[in-house]
Amino acid sequence: MNQKISIIGVPMDLGQNRRGVDMGPSAIRYAGIIDRLEQLKLDIEDLGDIKIARPAHNNQEKVDNLRNLKEVSEGSSLLAEKVDQVVQSGAFPLVLGGDHSIAMGTLAGVAKHYENLGVIWYDAHGDLNTGESSPSGNIHGMPLAVSLGIGHEKLTNILGYAPKIKPENIVIIGARSLDEGERVLIKEKGIQVFTMHEVDKMGMPAVMEESINYLKGRTDGVHLSLDLDGLDPNEAPGVGTPVMGGLSYRESHLAMEMLAQSKMITSAEFVEVNPILDEKNKTANMAVGLMGSLLGESLL
C-alpha cells in the first residue's frame, strides 16, 4: 500500500468547557505520529492546524443552549473544506482533535464523496444530544446527531447539505454514558450500539466482526471517529469527560487491527486528547499506537 495520508490538526476546545484539549494535536505530534506512520511505507503529509478562534476569557456565550455556537460552527466549516479537498485528491484524511465537536466538520467533508458513508463511533458517549436534550450545552456531545441532520441549522448545514449520514450506517462501540434524549434517539432511529455490556458479554472479537459485517453490506466507505474517552480512564486519563469501566488498550488495538484487515476505513479522527489532564502524554501515546494499528502495523 502506498496510500497518501494527510494529517490535519484541529486545536478546538470550544465544544466543551475544560481548556487544554486544543493542545491535543501538538501532544499527538509530539508522541511521534509522523515517524510512526512513515515506518508503514505510507506517504505522510502534515497539513498543519486549522485556525480556530480562542475562547473568550470571561464568559462563553450560549445560544439555544449551544456553547460557543458561532466559533464551533466556523471551525468545523473550515475543517470540512480542508477534508473535502483531501478526499478529492485521493488521500486519506487523518484528523487530530481537539474536542469531538470537530467530527461534524470531518463528516461534512468526507460524506460528500460517498453515497452511503458508514461511521464507527468509538466512544463512552453517544454524542447524540441537541440543544434541547443536552444536560451541558457542550457541542462536543452533539456531533453525531448533527451529522444525522438533527440540531441547530448552523451546525447541520455545514458545507450546505444535510444530513451527512444515515442512522442505519452508524455503529457505536463502547458506550456507557448515554443521556435520556440520546437513548430515545437511538431507539427511534434504530442505531446499532455495542455498549460496554455487549463488549463484556460478547468479547471484542465478536463485536468487531459483527460491526464490520453489518457495515460491509450497506456502506461504500467507513469513517472511524475515535474519542479517547472510549478507552478506560486508567489507560487514557487525558480526557475531559472520563467514564469508568471503558475499553482496554488490548481491546482497542484488536479493534483497530480488525478494521485494518477489513480495508473498509476511508478516513479517521482521534479526538479529546487533553495533555493538561494527562499523565506524561500517556493518552497521546495511546492515540498514536492506535493509529499505527488502524493504518496497518499489524499487517506488515
Residue placing its CB nearer to Mn ion in the complex, 32 or 249: 249
49 touching Mn ion, by CB under 5 A? no
Q: Determine whether the annotation assigns residue 125 to a binding site.
A: yes
Find where cell 450560549 sits.
Answer: 62
154 touching Mn ion, by CB under 5 A? no
* Contact by Cβ (8 Å): 175, 159: no
* Given the residues 227, 232, 269, 278, the one annotated as active site: 227
Q: Determine whether the annotation assigns residue 100 to a binding site.
A: yes
Contacts 24+ apart (CB under 8 A), 54-63: 55/13, 55/14, 55/19, 60/14, 60/17, 62/137, 63/152
164 touching Mn ion, by CB under 5 A? no
Query: Quick one: DSSP state of residue 223?
Result: E
Stretch that binds Mn ion, among 37-45, 56-64, 124-132, 159-167 (CB under 5 A): 124-132
Q: Determine whether the annotation assigns residue 113 to a binding site.
A: no
Residue placing its CB nearer to ligand ARG in the complex, 257 or 272: 272
Q: Is 82 helix (H, G, I), strand (E, B) or coil?
A: helix
Q: Determine whether the annotation assigns residue 127 to a binding site.
A: yes
198 is catalytic: no
What is the distance between the alpha carbons of residues 36 and 48, in angstroms, rounded to a whole number?
Answer: 17
125 touching Mn ion, by CB under 5 A? yes
Cell of 18: 475544560
Q: Whole-number minimum distance, CB 219 to Mn ion, in Å?
A: 21
Residues that bind ligand ARG (CB under 6 A): 100, 125, 127, 129, 134-136, 138, 140-141, 179, 227, 229, 241, 272
Interface residue with Mn ion among 84, 227, 232, 297 (CB under 5 A) is 227
Query: Quick one: DSSP state of residue 247?
Result: B
What is the distance between the alpha carbons of residues 51 and 74, in angstroms, rounded to a whole number?
Answer: 10
99 touching Mn ion, by CB under 5 A? no
Q: Determine whether the annotation assigns residue 200 to a binding site.
A: no
What is the distance between the alpha carbons of residues 74 and 77, in angstroms, rounded to a whole number?
Answer: 5
* Given the residues 71, 99, 100, 257, the one annotated as active site: 100
Number of H helices, E strands in the chain: 11, 10
22 is catalytic: no
* Given the residues 22, 71, 229, 278, the one annotated as active site: 229
Interacting residues of 102 by C-beta distance below 8 A, sequence separation 6+: 10, 12, 15, 75, 76, 79, 95, 143, 269, 271
Annotated binding site: 100, 123, 125, 127, 227, 229
Give the binding site for Mn ion (CB under 5 A).
100, 123-125, 127, 227, 229
Q: Which residues are catalytic?
A: 100, 123, 125, 127, 140, 227, 229, 272
